[in-house]
A and B are shown apart, each in its own frame.
Chain A
Amino acid sequence: MLAIDIFEPYGFQFFRHGLVVASVAGALCGLLGVFVVLRGMSYIGHGLSHAVFGGAAASAVIGINFFIGAGIWGIVSGVLIARVARRRVLGADAAIGVVTTASFALGLALMNRYGQASKSIEAVLFGSVLGVKFADIVAVTVVALIALAIIVAWYRKLLFSTFDPDVAQVSGVNVSFVEMVLLSLLSLTILVTMRVIGTLLISALLVIPAAAARMTTNSFSKLLWISPLIGAVTCFVGMNLSYHLDTSASATIILLDALVFIVVYTVAGTRNRMKMASLGHV
């Protein structure tokens, strides 16, 4: 009989751990992705993930804890990027591109020179469920709780400085501090997500769920739960599918996200056209 046992992977501890980390990470990326998409800073998500990769490799070589080494590196890059981006100098994004890809190249070189095998490079680039430990669950949960707490407590400030930074500043919001915290959160998110999703596909997880959610609602507060929901569900389903299809977990997840995006895009487009048509004239 060809029936597949959908519960088969649950027999493996690494899979259970991976599933939890991926689902929480999906929700977390979906949550922060709202800000990434609305601020039009997807290139920063892309850059940060590459920068964090350099930090991860460097801390492996020096022999310090991954979360501490790559975490510090990530937060520093986040703050630097916030600085550069705020100065609005022509070519700020180019500068970010140079620094973060250099960090990425450094990471690759370090892993070539000191890493054990090309297997581990692949794991960092594309993610791997096999390496997921209990500590990863703790890390991703802690970051998710911190992000949730900050977003609830700072809801108004975050909304204001995302929508209209100049006026927020004039109204007494410390916009640069808010931005710094947001970018640090983004770095931490990338850090705890990296093991499962891998460096190369994180930025997709930061952008696609939020972009899809954006098409379903015109409300900022609804975005803040629809986007994490899409992120979590696609990660959960993607993990299970990848086991049965024997495909890479991260690729399966991102493909699923892309599928959700296309479906939402088509449905939203049709709905809008119907709305236009019902207006009658022209």
Chain B
Amino acid sequence: MSTSPLVNCEHVSCTYGNAAVLDDIYMKVNKGEFVGVVGPSGSGKTTLLKAILGTHPVAHGSITMDPKLTIGYVPQVETVDWYFPVTVEEVIVMTRAKSTWWPRITHAERTAVREVLDRLGIGDVAQRHIRELSGGQQQRVFLARAMFRNPDILIMDEPTSGVDVRTRHEVLHLLADLHADGLTILLTTHDLNGLAAHLPRLVCLNKRVIADGNPREVLTPSVLEATYGAPMEVLEHGGMPLVVDHGRVQMRGEGK
């Protein structure tokens, strides 16, 4: 392909103090791709996203990204201060902080917020405080905030953590639709069977990139053991890989 990748990580290492968290990461994301990063808790998924966003320093190597790209970022819900006094509408409009100073939400903004919320199926929550929402609604509000900027690339940290099976399906369908419309998506997840197995490309991360490719190639017992440090079985279910942990279907996604 002749076009250069949207995100290009080469030999990237990151640290917290003296502790190395990412080591020699090599990863490219091309325009129009839908990439999932999987790995155990503490494997550096959030750190990798933050390094790409430029909010965590890169110790070695380089991350190149077109500075003109608009990024939509959806943080891990556990990191959001849910007690902060803001309404859904205010959260979404915040992303306009750069382009306008006028403190009040304008009529035009209100309409635009409504539109993006409607698109995500939560049109009626605009005036609510962010704490007065269900897990799935909270997740979608932050997705709405990211979408509000018309991003070129959507970066999401654990979009299905803490949501039920049905909401997970809805989020997955939503993302599939956005991807079909041409949006580039990079996300992290704990949910191997519910989310990761459905994506076109997976990156297995544990401080280093263990494997990178189609779920069929990547979700193998040897790769999973190297990534998670625990033996796992992989079954075939309806043409999809199904990861089984100690004879049980692994449920990290729902457990959190």
B53, B85, B93, B145: the one within 8 Å of A166 (CB):
B53
Is B80 an interface position by the 8 A CB rule? Answer: yes
For B80, what are the chain A residues with a Cβ–Cβ distance below 8 Å?
Answer: 164
B129:A218 contact, CB within 8 angstroms: yes
Q: A159-B97, A171-B97 are in contact. Are A166 and B86 (CB under 8 A)?
A: no
A90 to B16, CA, bound (A): 9
Chain B CB within 8 A of A50 CB: no
The answer to whether B149 has its CB under 8 Å from any CB of chain A is yes
- Pick the contact of B98: A38, A89, A163, A172 (CB < 8 A): A172
- Count of B residues near A, CB < 8 Å? 28
B100 within 8 A of A: yes
Contact A159 B94 (CB under 8 A): yes
Contact of B96 among A154, A156, A169 (CB under 8 A): A156
With known contacts A163-B81, A219-B87, A220-B85, A156–B54 Cβ distance under 8 A: no
Q: Is A62 an interface residue (CB 8 A)?
A: no
Query: In the complex, which residues of chain B have a beta carbon less than 8 angstroms from the beta carbon of A171?
Result: 94-95, 97-98, 149
Does A225 reach chain B (CB closer than 8 Å)?
Answer: no
Residues of A within 8 A of B149 (CB): 171
Determine whether the beta carbon of B101 is less than 8 Å from that of A153: yes
Closest to A91 in B: B17
- Chain B, 51-92, contact with A by CB distance < 8 Å: what is the 0/1 string? 001110000000000000001010100001100111100110
Taken together as a complex, chains A and B put the C-alpha atoms of A218 and B84 apart, in Å, by: 8
Q: State how many angstroms separate the Cβ of A87 from the closest Cβ of chain B.
A: 9
| A162 proximity list for chain B (CB < 8 A) | 84
Closest to B128 in A: A218
**Chain B residues near A155 (CB, 8 Å)?**
101, 103
- Residue B50 lies at the interface, judged by CB distance under 8 Å to chain A: yes
The A-B contact count (CB < 8 A) is 78
With a CB–CB cut-off of 8 A, which chain A residues contact B85?
38, 214, 217-220, 223
- Check if A160 is an interface residue, CB within 8 A of chain B: yes
Q: Is B75 touching A167 in the complex (CB atoms < 8 A)? A: yes
B97 touches A169 (CB 8 A): no
- Residues of A with C-beta under 8 A to B53: 166, 169-170
**Cβ contact within 8 Å between B101 and A154:** yes
The interface centre, meaning the residue of A154, A167, A214 with most chain B CB atoms within 10 A of its CB, is: A167
Cβ–Cβ contact B55 & A152, under 8 A = no
User: How far is A250 from B154 in the complex, measured between Cα atoms in Å?
Assistant: 52
When distances are taken between beta carbons in the complex, the residues of chain B under 8 Å from A217 are: 85
Report B99 CB to chain A, min CB distance, Å: 8
Chain A residues, Cβ within 8 Å of B87: 218-219
A159 CB contacts on chain B under 8 angstroms: 86, 90, 94, 97
A129-188 contacts to B, CB under 8 A, are 152-157, 159-160, 162-173
Instruction: Give the residues in chain B near A163, CB-CB below 8 Å.
Output: 81, 84, 86, 91, 94
Closest partner residue, chain B, to A155 (CB atom) = B103
Residue of B55, B75, B96 ringed by the most chain A CB atoms within 10 A: B55
Contact B101 A156 (CB under 8 A): yes
12 A–B contacts from the bound complex (CB under 8 Å):
A152-B103, A155-B103, A156-B93, A156-B103, A162-B84, A170-B55, A171-B94, A173-B97, A219-B85, A219-B86, A220-B84, A221-B103
Question: Which residues of chain A have a CB within 8 Å of any CB of chain B?
Answer: 38, 89-90, 152-157, 159-160, 162-173, 214, 217-221, 223
3 residue pairs, one from A and one from B, having the closest CB atoms: A155-B103, A156-B97, A172-B98
